[in-house]
Chain A
Amino acid sequence: MNEILKPQNNQQLIDIIKWAISEKNPLTVQGLATKSRLGRMCDNEYILDMSGICGIHMYEPDELVLTASSGTPIDEIKKILADKNQELEFEPANYTQLLGNNDIIDDGNIVKTGTLGGMIATNASGPRRIKIGAARDHFLGFKAISGRGEEFKSGGRVVKNVTGYDLSKIMAGSWGTLGVMSEITIKTMPKPETTRTILLLGAEPEQATKAMTQAFNSSNEISAAAWMSEEIAVKSNVEILRFTKGHITAMRIEGEKKSVAYRCKKLRDMMTRMGKVEELHQDNSNIFWRDIRNVQPFSARGDNRVVWRVSCAPQNGWKVINQLKHLKSMQSYMDWGGGLVWIAIDAPKVGAERLVRDIVNSYGGHATLMRSSEKLRQNIDIFHPPQSGLMKLTKKLKNNFDPHAILNPGRMYKGV
C-alpha cells in the first residue's frame, strides 16, 4: 500500500526529504502523475506528490519570463500566457491519451495535462523542436532540494547567463532523479501571428524526407515538418485529410501574416514539382500539429500496440521505417523533418525490442519505449542504454546529487 505525502510548502518538502534520507525510504516523485506510465516503474512505499507546491509567482510578458512553483498545472500556465498572446514556444507534448491516463482525477477534475515540474523533468518538446529547441532550451533557472535535503539553485531569469555550471540543463530530462525542483523559471514567447501548413500528397517516406529537406534548406523558415502514412491520415481530426488519399507530408510556416503568405507561395511552387499540394489554414493547422505532438495517431481507445519513439538524424528516419515495416500491425509517422519517428507495433514480447534498438544503433540515435504492457515495461530498458563512458558519468552524478538513492531511484536506468 502506497502512502502519499503531499507537502504544501517548501519547508514541508525539505522535511519530507530529510526524513526520507534518515529513514532510507526512497520516494516516488510525481506531479499530477500523468507520466507515471512513462519511464521505468518506480514502486516505492512513499509517494512525494508535488501538486500542492503550486502557483505562478512572476510573469512579465515584456521580459518574456515566467516563474512558478513546480506543481503548477501546465494548463494554468498556458492560459495566463494566452491572455497575453504568448505561449511555450517548444509546444510541450501531452501524452495523457497515448498512455490511457484519462482516469486521473484531481479535485474532481479530469487531469488533462501534467505539471510544470513534470514537463521540465521529462524535457517534453514538440514539432517546433527542429527550429527552436526543446524544453531545456527555454528553461532559465530553478530551485530544488537535492537528495542531501539541501535547497540549491542555479541559473536565473535571464537568457544570457554563463555564471557557474548550467545545472538547469542537467535537471531537464532527469526524471526527478537528481533533485526535486520546487520553483522553475522559463522563457515565454509571443504566439506567431499566423500559421499555415503546406501538404504534399502521396510521397513515400524517402521521397517525403527529400521534400522536407528541400523545404528546410530553402529560406522559407519552416517551423515543423512531418510525414504520416495514408492509413493514419484517414483517421485524422483534420477533416480534409480524411478525403485527400495518399500519404501526407506536412510543412508548417508561421509568423507575420504577409511573410507567411509569401513563404507559403514559394513553398507551394517548390512542392508542386513533386506532387499534388494542399494547404491547411490556422485552425486546421493547429489541430494537425497538436495531434502530431500528442501522438494522437496511436492514442485511440483500445489501441494496445507497443509504441516507440526514435530520435535519429533526419535523413535516417525513413530508413528506420523501411527496416521495421514488415512487423505485425506496424504503423509509423515522422516529425522533425524525419528526425523523430513514432512507431506502433504489435510486438509485446520481451526480446522484440532488440530489433528496434539494433536498427537505431546502426544509424545512430536512440529509441524510447513510450507505451507497452506492464510486463514488458518491467523487463526491458525503457530508455536507450547509454555508452559505458556516459553510463559511468550518469551513475556518478546521481550518486553525488542523491547519495542515498531516495529520489526516484531506478526511474531512468536500473540501479541509477
Chain B
Amino acid sequence: MRMPAPDKDIIANKAKIANDLRAIVANPEAVITNHDELRPYESDALTAYQQIPLIVVLPESVAEISAILEYCNQNNVKIVPRGAGTSLSGGALPLADGIILGLAKFTKILDIDYDNRTLTAQTGVTNLGISDAVAAEGFYYAPDPSSQIACTIGGNIAENSGGVHSLKYGLTGNNILGLQIILMDGEIINIGGKHMDSEGYDFMGLLTGSEGLLGVITEITVKLLKKPASSRALLLGFLSNEDASNCVGAIISHGIIPAGMEMMDKLAIHAVEDFIHAGYPLDCEALLIIELDGPVVEVDHLADVIIKIAKDNGATSNKISNSEEERVKFWAGRKAAFPAIGRISPDYLCMDGTIPRGKMPFVLSEIQKLSQKYDLRVANVFHAGDGNLHPLILYDANIIGQLQKVEEFGADILRLCVDVGGVLTGEHGVGVEKRDLMNVMFNEIDLKQQQRVKCVFDENLLLNPGKVFPQLYRCAELGHMHVKRGKIPFPDIPRF
C-alpha cells in the first residue's frame, strides 16, 4: 500500500510540534511521542497495514480540537482522526508524518430528550452506549453495526454504518438530525439540531460517510426510536445459495420489509455453530436469519407468510424463536460470525461490496470459482436484504505471498460487484483498502468532482490524506478551468 511520501521536514520537527501541542492542551500527558506508547495506534481493525504515527494527541475539549486543527493547518501538519479504531478499511491508518487525533475522551452523553425523541452525544460515545442510555425508557438507536459494543458514533458518521436492521430502519445517515464539526481552520460549525430537514445544501448528508476527510465530528444528535412491541427471529435452511437468494427476493416482492434479513453460507454456519452453539441447522448450504418486529399479531402473521414463501423456494428447515432468549441466541451466532471465522483461520480479510439483490446467486457462484482459482477459502456472511456482501477470505499472513494473493482475490470480488451494477463498499468505507479500486467505479471527472468537495473543507489536504482517493490533486489544479467557445446556436435544439 503506497501512502503519500512523508514530509521529512515535519518528521525532523517532531519535538517542536509535540511541544507546541503541549502548549495547546491542558494535560501535557495527552501528547504522546514515545515509540512504545505510539505502538497501540499503529493500525485500526484492518491489521494488515501498520504505521507508527508521528505523534498522538488526546484532546479533552472542543476548544482544544479546534486549536489543534488550526495549528496543523498553519504549520502544514497532517492529521488523522481516530475514534475506537474499529475501521475495517484502514480509515484511521496513521501517517509517518501525521498526528493521530484520538477522540477517546469524548464519551459524554450531553442531552436526552424523549419528547423530541433525540439524544445528543459526544463523538466518542459507543454505538451501543447510546441505546443502553435510553433502554430503561424503552427507546433505542436503530443502526447497529456488528462492532457496536466498541465502535463510536463519530466513526459511524464517518462510515455511514449500517448493521443488521438497516433494511427497515436505514443507515446512520437516515438516523441523525444534527452535527457539530470542526474544520481544519479551527472553525466550529453546527448543522441541524432537533428539527428535521435542515435547509440549504445538505452538509450533514455530505459529511456522513466522508471517512474523516472533511472535518472532525465532535457532537452528534441522533433520532431515537421506541422499541418495537415484539420481535421474533426465523432461521431458514436451504440446499443452495440460489434458493436462499430467491427467497429473499420473493419476500420483498410480496411487499414485506423485515427488520433484518441476513444470510450465511455453509462454511460460516459451521464455524459459528462450533463456536456459539446458536442452534443453526448444519445440514444446509445456506441459512437465512430473518427478524420481524412489531405487534405480536403482525409478527406472527408475517412469520407464517414468510415460512410459506420459504417452503415455496425450497427451504428444508425452519425454526422460529419462541422467547427473547432464543431470539438473542439466533443473532448471537450472526454477530459472532467474524470471530468464529477467526477461530478456523489465522487471518481473514473481510470484503464489503453491495450488489443488486437479484445478482446474488451469480455473484456467489463466481466467488466460489475465484476461491478455487486462488486456492483460498471464502466464508460468506452478509446483509441479504440490502445485497451487502461480506465475503471473508481465509488466509495466513505468515505464509509469504499470501497477503498479496488475498488482496488480489478481494479486488477481483469487488470488480465483480461493480460489474453487476453494485458498489465497492456498503458500510466499511474505502479507506486505504479500496482506494486504488476507485477507478473501477468512477472515472477521472467523477473523482475530480468529489475532490472539489474536499477542497471546500480542507484546501491544504491535511485531513486524513492518502485515504479514499487513488490520486490527490492540488486544489488550485482542480479549480482551473479551460473555457472554449461553445457551439452556437445549436441548430438541433428546440428553442421557444
C-alpha gap A40/B281 in the complex (Å): 62
CB-nearest residue of chain B to A256: B298
Contacts of A163 in B (CB 8 A): 423-425, 430, 434, 438, 441
Contact B162 A313 (CB under 8 A): no
- Say yes or no for B114: interface residue by CB 8 A criterion: yes
Contacts of B209 in A (CB 8 A): 162, 165-166
Contact A256 B301 (CB under 8 A): yes
A189-B257, A259-B298 in contact; A366/B196 too (CB < 8 A)? no
Contact A164 B450 (CB under 8 A): yes
Of B188, B189, B356, B481, the contact of A63 (CB 8 Å cutoff): B356
Contact A259 B294 (CB under 8 A): yes
A301-317: which have CB < 8 Å to B? 311-315
Q: Give the size of the chain B interface in residues (CB under 8 angstroms).
A: 105
A382-416: which have CB < 8 Å to B? 383-384, 386-387, 389-390, 393-394, 396-397, 400-401, 403-404, 412-413
Q: Is the interface of B mostly helix, strand, loop or mixed?
A: loop
- 17 A-B pairs in the complex with CB atoms less than 8 angstroms apart: A4-B495, A15-B487, A19-B488, A137-B170, A154-B450, A160-B383, A166-B173, A170-B202, A173-B200, A189-B257, A258-B297, A258-B301, A311-B197, A340-B196, A389-B187, A389-B189, A396-B455
A8-B494, A16-B490, A390-B200 in contact; A22/B387 too (CB < 8 A)? no
- Say yes or no for B63: interface residue by CB 8 A criterion: no
- Nearest-Cβ distance from residue B420 to partner chain A, whole angstroms: 10
- Nearest-Cβ distance from residue A332 to partner chain B, whole angstroms: 17
C-alpha gap A22/B191 in the complex (Å): 36
A1-18: which have CB < 8 Å to B? 3-8, 12, 15-16, 18
C-alpha gap A404/B482 in the complex (Å): 12
- Say yes or no for B486: interface residue by CB 8 A criterion: yes
A109-164: which have CB < 8 Å to B? 123, 125, 129-130, 132-134, 136-137, 146, 148-154, 156-164
Contact B298 A166 (CB under 8 A): no
One digit per residue, 1 when the CB lies within 8 angstroms of any chain B CB and 0 when it does not, for chain A 307-330 equals 000011111000000000000000
CB-nearest residue of chain B to A21: B483
One digit per residue, 1 when the CB lies within 8 angstroms of any chain A CB and 0 when it does not, for chain B 375-395 equals 000000001001110000000
Contacts of A394 in B (CB 8 A): 200-201
Contact A167 B449 (CB under 8 A): yes
CB-nearest residue of chain B to A147: B481
Contacts of B194 in A (CB 8 A): 313-314, 364
- Say yes or no for B29: interface residue by CB 8 A criterion: no
Of A18, A129, A165, A336, the contact of B486 (CB 8 Å cutoff): A18
Of A7, A8, A15, A165, the contact of B453 (CB 8 Å cutoff): A165
A160-B166, A219-B229, A262-B295 in contact; A165/B210 too (CB < 8 A)? yes
Of A5, A193, A314, A393, the contact of B495 (CB 8 Å cutoff): A5
- Nearest-Cβ distance from residue A335 to partner chain B, whole angstroms: 10
Contact B358 A63 (CB under 8 A): yes
- Say yes or no for A263: interface residue by CB 8 A criterion: yes
Known pairs A63-B358, A160-B426; list 12 more (Cβ under 8 Å).
Answer: A18-B486, A61-B253, A136-B202, A158-B423, A162-B211, A164-B446, A166-B160, A189-B257, A217-B117, A366-B199, A400-B456, A404-B483
Contacts of A150 in B (CB 8 A): 445, 449
Of B295, B438, B481, the contact of A263 (CB 8 Å cutoff): B295
- Nearest-Cβ distance from residue A19 to partner chain B, whole angstroms: 3
- Say yes or no for A255: interface residue by CB 8 A criterion: yes
- Nearest-Cβ distance from residue B387 to partner chain A, whole angstroms: 6
Contact A20 B173 (CB under 8 A): no
- Nearest-Cβ distance from residue B253 to partner chain A, whole angstroms: 4
- Nearest-Cβ distance from residue A195 to partner chain B, whole angstroms: 14
Contact A173 B199 (CB under 8 A): yes
A6-B493, A314-B115, A336-B196 in contact; A389/B386 too (CB < 8 A)? no
Contact A23 B205 (CB under 8 A): no
- Say yes or no for B317: interface residue by CB 8 A criterion: no
Q: Is the interface of A mostly helix, strand, loop or mixed?
A: mixed
C-alpha gap A216/B224 in the complex (Å): 11
CB-nearest residue of chain B to A391: B200
- Say yes or no for B276: interface residue by CB 8 A criterion: no
Contacts of A100 in B (CB 8 A): none
- Say yes or no for B34: interface residue by CB 8 A criterion: no
C-alpha gap A168/B201 in the complex (Å): 11
C-alpha gap A262/B295 in the complex (Å): 8
C-alpha gap A168/B174 in the complex (Å): 13
A123-B197, A156-B423 in contact; A219/B226 too (CB < 8 A)? yes
- Say yes or no for A290: interface residue by CB 8 A criterion: no
Contact A158 B486 (CB under 8 A): no
- Nearest-Cβ distance from residue A202 to partner chain B, whole angstroms: 22
Contact A160 B386 (CB under 8 A): yes
Contact B484 A393 (CB under 8 A): no
- Say yes or no for A231: interface residue by CB 8 A criterion: no
Contact A153 B492 (CB under 8 A): no
C-alpha gap A159/B385 in the complex (Å): 10
B225-284: which have CB < 8 Å to A? 226-229, 249, 252-253, 255-257
A174-B201, A258-B301, A339-B195 in contact; A52/B484 too (CB < 8 A)? no
Contact A129 B196 (CB under 8 A): yes
One digit per residue, 1 when the CB lies within 8 angstroms of any chain B CB and 0 when it does not, for chain A 166-191 equals 11111011100010000000000111
One digit per residue, 1 when the CB lies within 8 angstroms of any chain B CB and 0 when it does not, for chain A 340-371 equals 10000000000000000000000011101000
- Say yes or no for A213: interface residue by CB 8 A criterion: yes
Contact A169 B208 (CB under 8 A): yes
Contact B193 A364 (CB under 8 A): yes
- Say yes or no for A60: interface residue by CB 8 A criterion: yes
C-alpha gap A65/B252 in the complex (Å): 12
- Nearest-Cβ distance from residue B291 to partner chain A, whole angstroms: 15
Contact B115 A315 (CB under 8 A): yes
C-alpha gap A368/B441 in the complex (Å): 38
Contact B190 A366 (CB under 8 A): no
CB-nearest residue of chain A to B251: A62
Contact A85 B205 (CB under 8 A): no
C-alpha gap A138/B312 in the complex (Å): 31
- Nearest-Cβ distance from residue B144 to partner chain A, whole angstroms: 14
- Nearest-Cβ distance from residue B349 to partner chain A, whole angstroms: 18
B157-195: which have CB < 8 Å to A? 159-160, 162, 166, 170-171, 173-174, 183, 187-191, 193-195
Contact A64 B252 (CB under 8 A): yes
C-alpha gap A22/B468 in the complex (Å): 33
Q: Which are the 5 A-B pairs with shortest beta-carbon distances? A: A169-B205, A19-B486, A259-B298, A190-B255, A160-B426
Contacts of B455 in A (CB 8 A): 396, 400
Contact B117 A216 (CB under 8 A): yes
C-alpha gap A30/B228 in the complex (Å): 43
CB-nearest residue of chain B to A19: B486
Contact A158 B356 (CB under 8 A): yes
- Say yes or no for A278: interface residue by CB 8 A criterion: no
Contacts of A384 in B (CB 8 A): 199-200
CB-nearest residue of chain B to A314: B116
C-alpha gap A389/B434 in the complex (Å): 32
Contacts of B452 in A (CB 8 A): 400-401
- Say yes or no for A221: interface residue by CB 8 A criterion: yes
A241-270: which have CB < 8 Å to B? 255-256, 258-259, 262-263
Contacts of A259 in B (CB 8 A): 294-295, 297-298, 301
Contact B195 A313 (CB under 8 A): yes
Contact A368 B199 (CB under 8 A): yes
- Say yes or no for A282: interface residue by CB 8 A criterion: no
A162-B159, A173-B202 in contact; A389/B188 too (CB < 8 A)? yes
Contact A15 B170 (CB under 8 A): no
- Say yes or no for B316: interface residue by CB 8 A criterion: no
- Nearest-Cβ distance from residue A2 to partner chain B, whole angstroms: 9
One digit per residue, 1 when the CB lies within 8 angstroms of any chain A CB and 0 when it does not, for chain B 357-386 equals 110000000000000000000000001001
